[in-house]
Structure 1
Amino acid sequence: MNKWIKPVVLNGEHVILKPLELSQCKALQNAVCDGELWKLWYTRIPEPDQMTAEICRRLELQQQGAMLPFYVEDRHSGQAIGMTSFMNIEAVHRRVEIGSTWYRKTAQRTPVNTECKKLLLSHAFDTLDCIAVEFRTSSFNFKSQAAIQRLGAKLDGVLRSHQIVENDILRDTHVYSILRNEWPAVHQHLQWLLTQPRSISS
């Protein structure tokens, strides 16, 4: 199988990233209800009854070679935390985007996102030999922008009127990236962030 879409388990101190499977649907339905995340208008997060379709959509993109989706699990409790993915995979140019990410509300503002990104970036740069890893988010998703900047990613630019969100509302998309030559410093920064006191969901 193409290494870019080969299912892999990524283990951290707080989280485990597992290959996405349909058997995880019920756990993810429970997770998305923590904070009713689908009500955020500026991003697309599935409602509980849409979870099966969303898992199937991601797995279909994996079959097409465009996505490597993950199920995010709390390492200590075994509780479902959310989903994340390598997406818009360009194996020829050795580029990926980390996106389609959501975490249950009680896992936000904890070490979860930092460790997930560290695991994904390590796989991208150290295993897949990526040249660049990209992040995209809505101009109105200020929490996401702050989280991406906190990782050490740099803003490449803004795609104006990039997507229709709903009711013909147009979304501007902020595009960030981390380059291969920046990875050693970013890796050290993420290691440091994970030593700083922050609560972790139980």
Structure 2
Amino acid sequence: MPWPDPVALEGKFASLVPLQLEHAEALAAASGDGEVWRAWYTNVPAPEDMQTEIERRLGEQQASRMLPFTVLDAHGTPAGMTTYMNIDATSPRVEIGSTWYARRVQRTPLNTQCKRLLLEYAFESLGCIAVEFRTSSFNRASRRAIERIGAKSDGILRNHSHHRNGTLRDTCVYSILESEWPGVKVQLDSMLGLNAPRR
């Protein structure tokens, strides 16, 4: 049986639903917002490539290598994509990656909410012992965002792969351990204003 199974996750500032081909048009519009696909150190699909990318991710899901989501903003409008990937059902552990967002939702609580939902489900429902994050050494915004939520550096895989423009990519690897999740959860809730003291 595939692990993990498709699931919808709902939060105050964002929700995650299983990726579907029907989302292609709205996700193409999200990719075009701010032309986020042009950044050479990321792998954001261009609007005209969105259906092909959705088909690729769904194929990875069929092979039990990925669980892809469409990210919805607080109004229920598609605003990006994210996944569980590098799935290891034996350990068990996952990587949260292949994530991108429309420019309009960047620097909002949306990313923090998505990570909160994905981490909670990974640790509290799937029983993961660790959750991993990876990003290009050149993607400083992504590195800051990963560090901000409480992930710790595991090191850098030098000359790990290539960026899509052919240049060599050093991959920064981070993780959160099961034992660290309770503290990270409190931190994320504080960032989202979800654990403010009652008056």
Superposition TM-score tier, normalisation by shorter sequence: over 0.9
CA distance in 2, matches of 1:22, 1:166: 24
1:3 positional shift? 3.9
From 125, 128, 131, the equivalent of 1:130 is 128
1:38 maps to 37
Q: Does 2:58 correspond to 1:59?
A: yes
Which 4+ residue blocks in structure 1 deviate beyond 2 angstroms?
none
Q: 1:166 to 1:13 in 2, by over 3 A?
A: closer
SS of the residue corresponding to residue 92 of structure 1 reads coil
TM-score, normalization by structure 2: 0.95
Contact 2:14–2:114 (CA under 8 A) maintained in structure 1: yes
Amino acid at match of 2:2: N
From 138, 141, 149, the equivalent of 1:140 is 138
2:73 maps to 74
Q: 1:25 to 1:166 in 2, by over 3 A?
A: closer
Contact 2:122–2:131 (CA under 8 A) maintained in structure 1: yes
2:153 maps to 155
From 163, 172, 175, the equivalent of 2:173 is 175
SS of the residue corresponding to residue 114 of structure 2 reads helix
Deviation track 1:77-101 (CA, whole Å, cap 9, x = no partner) reads 2221100000010111101000000
Matched residues, number: 194
Deviation track 1:26-69 (CA, whole Å, cap 9, x = no partner) reads 00000001110111000111001110010001000001011000
Amino acid at match of 1:128: L
SS of the residue corresponding to residue 46 of structure 1 reads coil
1:2 positional shift? 2.9
CA distance in 1, matches of 2:183, 2:151: 11
1:168 positional shift? 3.0
CA distance in 2, matches of 1:81, 1:164: 27
2:14 maps to 15
CA distance in 2, matches of 1:69, 1:167: 25
Percent identity (aligned): 55
CA RMSD across the alignment: 1.1
TM-score, normalization by structure 1: 0.94
SS of the residue corresponding to residue 87 of structure 2 reads strand
1:167 positional shift? 4.3
1:164 maps to 162
Gaps in structure 2 of 5+ consecutive residues: 195-199
Q: 1:23 to 1:178 in 2, by over 3 A?
A: same
CA distance in 2, matches of 1:143, 1:86: 20
Gaps in structure 1 of 5+ consecutive residues: 197-202
SS of the residue corresponding to residue 7 of structure 2 reads coil
CA distance in 2, matches of 1:189, 1:16: 19
1:191 maps to 189
Q: Does 2:28 correspond to 1:2?
A: no
Amino acid at match of 1:53: T
CA distance in 1, matches of 2:169, 2:7: 33
Amino acid at match of 2:121: H
